[in-house]
Amino acid sequence: METKIIDARVIVTCPGRNFVTLKITTTDGVYGVGDGTLNGRELAVAAYLQEHVVPCLIGRDADRIEDTWQYLYRGAYWRRGPVTMAAIAAVDTALWDIKAKRANMPLYQLLGGKCREGVTVYTHANGHDIAQLLDSVSHHIELGYKAVRVQCAVPGVADAYGIPHGDKPYEPADASIPREEVWSTPKYLRFAPKMMEAVRAKVGFDVALLHDAHHRLTPIEAAALGKSLEEFRLFWLEDVTPAENQEAFQLVRQHTTTPLAVGEVFNSIFDCQQLISERLIDYVRASVAHAGGITHMRRIASFAELYGVKTGCHGPTDVSPICMGAALHFGLSVPNFGIQEHMPHCAETDEVFPHAYTFNDGYMQPGEQPGHGVDIDEKLAARFPYKRMYLPVARLEDGTLFNW
Instruction: For the CB of residue 102, give the shortest distance to ligand CS2 in the complex, in Å.
Output: 33
CA distances from 31 to 61, 100, 281 (A): 13, 11, 38
Among 39, 126, 287, 349, interactor with ligand CS2 by CB under 6 A: 39
Distance between CA atoms of 169 and 385, rounded to whole angstroms? Answer: 21
Instruction: For the CB of residue 264, give the shortest distance to Mg ion in the complex, in Å.
Output: 5
Distance between CA atoms of 98 and 300, rounded to whole angstroms? Answer: 23
Options 140, 214, 296, 314, the catalytic residue = 214
Q: Considering the rule CB under 6 A, would residue 391 count as an interface residue with ligand CS2?
A: yes
Q: Considering the rule CB under 6 A, would residue 264 count as an interface residue with ligand CS2?
A: yes
CB count in 10 Å sphere of residue 251: 15
Taking each helix axis from N to C end, the angle separating 219-229 and 185-203, rounded to the nearest 10 degrees, works out to: 20
Q: Considering the rule CB under 6 A, would residue 318 count as an interface residue with ligand CS2?
A: yes
Nearer to ligand CS2, 212 or 282 (CB): 212
- Residues 170-189 binding ligand CS2 (CB under 6 A) are 172
Identify the bridge partners of residue 168 per DSSP, sorted by sequence position.
none
Among 219, 226, 292, 316, interactor with ligand CS2 by CB under 6 A: 316
Options 31, 161, 283, 363, the catalytic residue = 161
Q: Considering the rule CB under 5 A, would residue 159 count as an interface residue with Mg ion?
A: no
Nearest residue to 292 (alpha-carbon basis) of 262, 259, 257, 330: 330
Q: Considering the rule CB under 5 A, would residue 341 count as an interface residue with Mg ion?
A: no
Q: Considering the rule CB under 5 A, would residue 212 count as an interface residue with Mg ion?
A: yes
Nearer to ligand CS2, 111 or 222 (CB): 222
Question: Is 307 a known active-site residue?
Answer: no
Nearer to ligand CS2, 92 or 212 (CB): 212
From ligand CS2, Mg ion, none, which one binds at residue 39 (CB under 5 to 8 Å depending on kind)?
Answer: ligand CS2
From ligand CS2, Mg ion, none, which one binds at residue 318 (CB under 5 to 8 Å depending on kind)?
Answer: ligand CS2
Q: Considering the rule CB under 6 A, would residue 16 count as an interface residue with ligand CS2?
A: no
Evaluate the CA torsion angle 102, 324, 358, 328 in order and state its sign: positive
CA angle 198, 202, 207 (to 5 degrees): 105
Instruction: For the CB of residue 141, give the shortest distance to Mg ion in the complex, in Å.
Output: 21
Distance between CA atoms of 23 and 11, rounded to whole angstroms? Answer: 8
Instruction: For the CB of residue 18, give the shortest distance to ligand CS2 in the complex, in Å.
Output: 11
Nearer to ligand CS2, 80 or 342 (CB): 342
From ligand CS2, Mg ion, none, which one binds at residue 370 (CB under 5 to 8 Å depending on kind)?
Answer: none
In terms of Cβ atoms closer than 10 Å to its own Cβ (0-12, 13-18, 19+), residue 387 is exposed
Nearer to ligand CS2, 97 or 341 (CB): 341
**At residue 12, what is the residue type?**
V
Cβ-contact 262, 252 below 8 angstroms? no
Supply the DSSP string of 337-386, one letter for each residue.
EEEEE--PPPHHHHHHS-B--EEETTEEE--SSSBSSB---HHHHTTS--
What is the phi/psi pair of residue 23, to 5°? -115, 120
What is the phi/psi pair of residue 106, to 5°? -65, 145
Cβ-contact 260, 281 below 8 angstroms? yes
- For Mg ion (CB under 5 A), the number of binding residues is 2
Question: Is 372 a known active-site residue?
Answer: no
Region from 86-94, 200-208, 263-271, 356-364 binding Mg ion, contact rule CB under 5 A: 263-271
Nearest residue to 262 (alpha-carbon basis) of 292, 288, 287, 283: 283
Cβ-contact 74, 134 below 8 angstroms? no
- Residues 286-315 binding ligand CS2 (CB under 6 A) are 314
- Residues 88-117 binding Mg ion (CB under 5 A) are none
Nearer to Mg ion, 212 or 375 (CB): 212
Nearer to ligand CS2, 39 or 365 (CB): 39
From Mg ion, ligand CS2, none, which one binds at residue 172 (CB under 5 to 8 Å depending on kind)?
Answer: ligand CS2
x/- string (CB under 6 A) for ligand CS2, residues 208-227?
A: ----x-x-------------
Region from 85-93, 151-159, 206-214, 390-398 binding Mg ion, contact rule CB under 5 A: 206-214
Distance between CA atoms of 280 and 93, rounded to whole angstroms? Answer: 29
Active site residues: 161, 214
Residues that bind ligand CS2 (CB under 6 A): 39, 172, 212, 214, 264, 314, 316, 318, 341, 391
